[in-house]
Amino acid sequence: METTSSLDSINLEDEDVANASTIDLERPLGRKAEKARLNKQKSSEGTSLNVEWMLNVMVEEQKIYNITRMEFLERGRVEFMELENKRLCIKEEKIRLAKMKVETERMKEERERMKEERKKMKKERETLEEEKEIMTIDVDALPLVQQEYFRLRQLEILAKRRIDN
């Protein structure tokens, strides 16, 4: 009897089996394997969440970096402008000092010229005083040599005055 029941259960020439093109020979997963498959599926879902989270973090970090970079560039631009203003102020101060130096030199030259002119005028005054004395001397009371000297000097003074006028 056992043989018949086992022959009945194993029917190799069953029409249903012969007509089926593929037979699913995989056995159902065991409890551990099903748990591992579910954990793997969950971790892959978690990984995609982690990737999304990491991308969001990277985007935020990039935004912070860009903001920090812009602030740094702005500070650099402000510092550059301040330095440029200082450089221009220094340049203007150098130009002002150069003009002052030129003006000081011009004034110094003018003072020297005026000093020389005063010396010249003083010498002319002294010469005029000397010539006035020579012209006012009574030569008749002097010895002949002196009379001749003073008369020649008086003639030179008169000739000089004629040329100047």
CA dihedral 121, 122, 127, 132 (to 10 degrees): 100
- 104 and 124 Cβ atoms separated by less than 8 Å: no
The SS3 assignment for 131 reads: helix
Q: How far, in Å, CA of 86 to CA of 158, rounded?
A: 69
Q: Looking at this protein, which amino acid is placed at residue 21?
A: S
Domain parsing of the chain, residue ranges: 34-164
pLDDT for the residue numbered 161: 87
Residue-wise pLDDT tens digits, 101-134:
999 999 999 999 999 999 999 999 999 999 999 9
Q: What is the mean pLDDT of residues 86-109?
A: 97
- The pTM assigned to this predicted structure is 0.43
Examine the pLDDT at 32 and tell me if it is beyond 60.
yes
Q: What was the pLDDT predicted at 39? A: 77
Q: According to the model, what pLDDT value does residue 30 have?
A: 79
Per residue in 63-82, pLDDT (tens digit) is: 999 999 999 999 999 999 99
So what's the pLDDT on residue 33? Answer: 80
Give pLDDT, residue 76: 94
* Structure confidence at residue 37 as a pLDDT band (50, 70, 90): confident
DSSP, collapsed to helix, strand or coil, labels residue 22 as coil
